[in-house]
């Protein structure tokens, strides 16, 4: 289809998305060849319609009649009825009945083979040998030697197989489309004091959207009033509703289960999180996985080779006096049917499409089949600490004044310094201080990446940051060093507040380890991941305490962002392919450096959705073992499909050479295997327990 469309004048390139059933064409707008492209597609025997939003000029040709539609059940049903009628007449003795039976079989070939021949002609024009060409040659050859019954049987079985295959593949296309259909067509918006039901196209960013209990949220937004539990399973895969309060983000397509919400719209239809996810899934499904590219290259020489062998089988033996021309010609026809590479070609994409769809349902966005194939090769998983192994919401647990400063002053000065920082630890200090008291304006504010901040307050230079920063900037006396060691030993992160090289206070901050972390680490270990490593900018003592609680095998502490990149390279050298799990923003360099970058809690992050190889849409590590399990099952599924296809083809080809296979057996072997590998690939759509 790509090749035929590319040959239309004015077309620059054409790309067919197997999973979505869409043909995307770049063309010269001055020539506007869309109508010609539609005509070419229909001439090849395929149904076609413009995408929603395309102008009518894209479909200026009349719609296809029922007999032109690919795999139409009425066509297959009529062809099958004529075939059976021929069989019934064949049971009646007499020349008239025999002639009538032949007429039924020829009619069956004419009806069932119509779109087969049309597709074959299109392939020949594109100078390609595909299964339609090979099957057409076999049917014509069978008619030429008087094998009318077998010709009709071949056509009916092939058409039935195509119909069942297209119906099966339609399941994967519907599953992604169902996501977008979960978004309501209208939104209840408050305008000028009145609540108005508006189409989504008329909504504006900043509108206040009213969502009643039991209704689906129509647009992305932020809760401004009300509280409710919202079912976000369509986006994150989480079955338990998430509690939403003022300030919380909500996504289009999610279900408001309890309270009344007033939501400020932050993104319109095509920019919603759900729309971006669907778009990225379709892009991922359109990409050819390494295994698929290998199969494509194999079939480029496989099909012509088998056609040449079939010609040799038809010609050489009778020339050598080893049999009749009719016998060897029939064997060659069987070889043509068996040589159709449809089962082999479809074995990989149907598995990849099904797996990506299953992952999306589980709240895991996979950016392409290649990453599913990488998953089984991973031997080490590196975790960021904050927000990944921990809950990502650190809280102040200890405020220890030193040098005569009281606790309130320590917290107030720390909050003043941290007010300009977006680090999670800074947010914890600001929450603890609560804005109870103010300090003078800062002068000469300096943010020291990965270590802390420094500024002048009331004529004195203050700094707050890690103990390593304090060691460089201040004199850490014995009492302070002892308290720092105690806090770090209990798994807390210590912020040191200094004034003019003198430590005036310590703040202990703790980030709770996710309760599922140890269980997830154990599941990954059972899944064949040999090493789990935690990467953190925290100190050795805190890192050791968190690592022990989470169950990881080792940790690397005191790492700046570039240090995490170096750690990834070192882990790859030691253990093999590395997966990095982080928040997708702060850990972007490490995620990019890893063989597999996995962003966690990415549903609300544009950056994570766009840059990560894999995105866990919910902030929940339990999706991680499911992804690695899916990767292993996908690769095993592809391997089984490819091996089964090749072995079956080889066996039937061998039988054909020795005259032990008939045409209808060859069709069973061809379309039967195609249906089996399709069904096997579709098994990946099911949730694995």
Residue 210 CB-half CA count within 13 A: 11
Q: Are 282 and 16 in contact (CB under 8 A)?
A: no
CA neighbor of 603 nearest in space, from 252, 260, 270: 252
> Pairing mode, if any, of strands 395-401 and 208-211?
unpaired
Phi, then psi, of 519 in degrees rounded to 5: -65, -40
In SS3 terms, 7-39 reads as CCCCEEEEEEECCCCEEEEEECCCCCCHHHHHH
CA neighbor of 209 nearest in space, from 249, 258, 263: 263
Q: Are 554 and 529 in contact (CB under 8 A)?
A: no
Q: Are 24 and 47 in contact (CB under 8 A)?
A: no
DSSP 279-331: HHHHHHHHSPPHHHHHHHHHHHHHHHHHHHHHHHHHHHHHHTTSS-HHHHHHH
Which residues are CB-neighbours of 609 under 8 A, at least 6 positions away? 273, 276, 277, 280, 365, 599, 602, 603, 615
Distances (CA, A) of 447 to 203, 274, 465: 41, 36, 10
> Pairing mode, if any, of strands 531-535 and 220-225?
unpaired
Active site (annotated) includes residue 398: no
Q: Are 155 and 113 in contact (CB under 8 A)?
A: yes
Distances (CA, A) of 354 to 67, 173, 623, 630: 30, 9, 17, 10
Catalytic residue chosen out of the listed positions 130, 220, 231, 384 = 384
Residues 419 and 215: their CA atoms lie apart, in Å, by 39
DSSP 573-641: HHHSSEEEEE-SSTTHHHHHHSSEEEEES-TT-HHHHHH-SEEESSS-TTHHHHHHHHHHHHHHHHHHH
Instruction: Quote the tokens at residue 290.
Output: 């390494």
* 358-362 contact pairs (CB < 8 A, 24+): 358/630, 358/684, 358/685, 358/686, 358/687, 359/627, 359/630, 360/176, 360/179, 360/237, 360/277, 360/281, 361/175, 361/237, 361/687, 362/237, 362/623, 362/626, 362/627, 362/630, 362/687
Q: Are 73 and 163 in contact (CB under 8 A)?
A: yes
Distances (CA, A) of 572 to 349, 382, 388, 415, 628: 30, 10, 21, 40, 18
DSSP bridge partners of 462: 455, 499
DSSP, collapsed to helix, strand or coil, labels residue 164 as helix
Q: Are 210 and 225 in contact (CB under 8 A)?
A: no
Per the listing, tokens 């719609």 go with 63
Sign of the dihedral through C-alpha 439, 441, 444, 445: positive
If 0-12 CB within 10 Å is exposed, 13-18 middle and 19+ buried, where does residue 622 land? middle
Residues 57 and 104: their CA atoms lie apart, in Å, by 42
Active-site residue set = 384
């Amino acid at each position: 289809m790509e090749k035929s469309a590319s040959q239309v004048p004015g077309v620059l390139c054409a790309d067919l998305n197997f999973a979505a059933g869409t043909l995307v064409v770049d063309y010269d707008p001055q020539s506007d060849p869309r109508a010609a492209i539609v005509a070419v597609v229909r001439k090849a025997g395929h149904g076609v319609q413009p995408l929603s939003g395309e102008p009518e000029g894209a479909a200026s040709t009349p719609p296809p009649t029922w007999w032109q539609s690919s795999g139409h059940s009425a066509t297959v049903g009529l062809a099958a009825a004529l075939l059976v009628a021929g069989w019934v007449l064949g049971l009646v003795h007499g020349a008239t009945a025999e002639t009538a039976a032949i007429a039924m079989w020829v009619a069956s070939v004419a009806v069932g083979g119509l779109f087969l021949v049309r597709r074959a002609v299109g392939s020949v024009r594109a100078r390609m040998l595909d299964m339609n060409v090979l099957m057409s040659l076999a049917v014509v050859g069978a008619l030429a030697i008087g094998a009318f019954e077998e010709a009709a049987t071949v056509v009916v079985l092939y058409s039935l197989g195509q119909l069942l295959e297209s119906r099966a593949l339609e399941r994967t296309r519907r599953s992604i489309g169902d996501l977008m259909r979960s978004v309501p067509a209208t939104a209840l918006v408050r305008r000028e004091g009145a609540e108005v039901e508006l189409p989504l196209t008329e909504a504006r960013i900043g509108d206040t959207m009213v969502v009643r209990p039991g209704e689906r949220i129509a647009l992305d937004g932020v809760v401004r009033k009300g509280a409710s539990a919202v079912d976000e399973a369509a986006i994150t895969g989480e079955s338990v509703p998430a509690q939403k309060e003022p300030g919380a983000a909500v996504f289009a397509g999610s279900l408001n289960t309890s309270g009344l919400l007033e939501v400020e719209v932050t993104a319109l239809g095509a920019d919603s999180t759900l729309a971006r996810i669907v778009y990225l899934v379709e892009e991922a499904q359109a990409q050819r996985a390494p295994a698929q590219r290998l199969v494509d290259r194999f079939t480029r020489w496989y099909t012509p080779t088998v056609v040449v062998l079939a010609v040799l089988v038809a010609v050489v033996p009778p020339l050598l006096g080893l049999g009749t021309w009719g016998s060897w010609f029939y064997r060659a026809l069987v070889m043509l049917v068996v040589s159709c590479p449809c089962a082999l070609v479809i074995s990989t994409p149907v598995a990849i499409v099904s797996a990506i769809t299953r992952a999306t349902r589980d709240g895991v966005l996979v950016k392409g089949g290649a990453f599913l194939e990488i998953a089984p090769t991973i031997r080490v998983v590196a975790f960021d600490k904050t927000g990944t192994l921990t809950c990502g919401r650190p809280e102040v647990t200890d405020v220890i004044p030193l040098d005569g400063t009281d606790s309130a002053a320590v917290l107030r000065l720390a909050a003043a310094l941290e007010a300009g920082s977006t680090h999670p630890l800074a947010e914890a200090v600001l929450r603890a201080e609560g804005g109870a008291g103010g300090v003078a304006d800062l002068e000469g504010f300096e943010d020291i990446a990965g270590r802390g901040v420094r500024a002048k307050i009331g004529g004195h230079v203050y700094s707050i940051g890690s103990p390593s920063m304090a060691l460089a900037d201040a004199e850490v006396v014995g009492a302070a060093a002892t308290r720092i060691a105690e806090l770090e030993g209990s798994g807390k992160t210590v912020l040191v507040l200094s004034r003019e090289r003198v430590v005036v206070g310590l703040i202990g901050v703790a980030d709770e380890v996710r309760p599922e972390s140890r269980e997830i680490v154990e599941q990954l270990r059972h899944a064949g991941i040999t090493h789990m490593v935690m990467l953190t900018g925290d100190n050795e003592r805190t890192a050791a305490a968190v690592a022990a609680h989470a169950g990881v095998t080792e940790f690397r502490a005191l790492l700046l962002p570039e240090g995490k990149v170096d750690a990834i390279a070192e882990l790859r050298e030691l253990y093999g392919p590395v997966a990095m799990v982080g928040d997708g923003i702060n850990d972007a360099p490490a995620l990019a450096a890893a063989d597999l970058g996995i962003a966690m809690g990415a549903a609300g992050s544009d950056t994570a959705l766009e840059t990560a190889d894999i995105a866990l849409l919910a902030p929940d590590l339990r999706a991680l073992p499911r992804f690695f399990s899916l990767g292993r099952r996908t690769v095993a599924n592809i391997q089984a499909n490819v091996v089964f296809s090749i072995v079956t083809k080889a066996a039937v080809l061998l039988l054909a050479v020795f005259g032990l296979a008939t045409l209808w057996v060859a069709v069973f072997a061809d379309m039967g295997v195609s249906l089996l590998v399709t069904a096997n690939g579709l098994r990946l759509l099911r949730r694995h327990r």
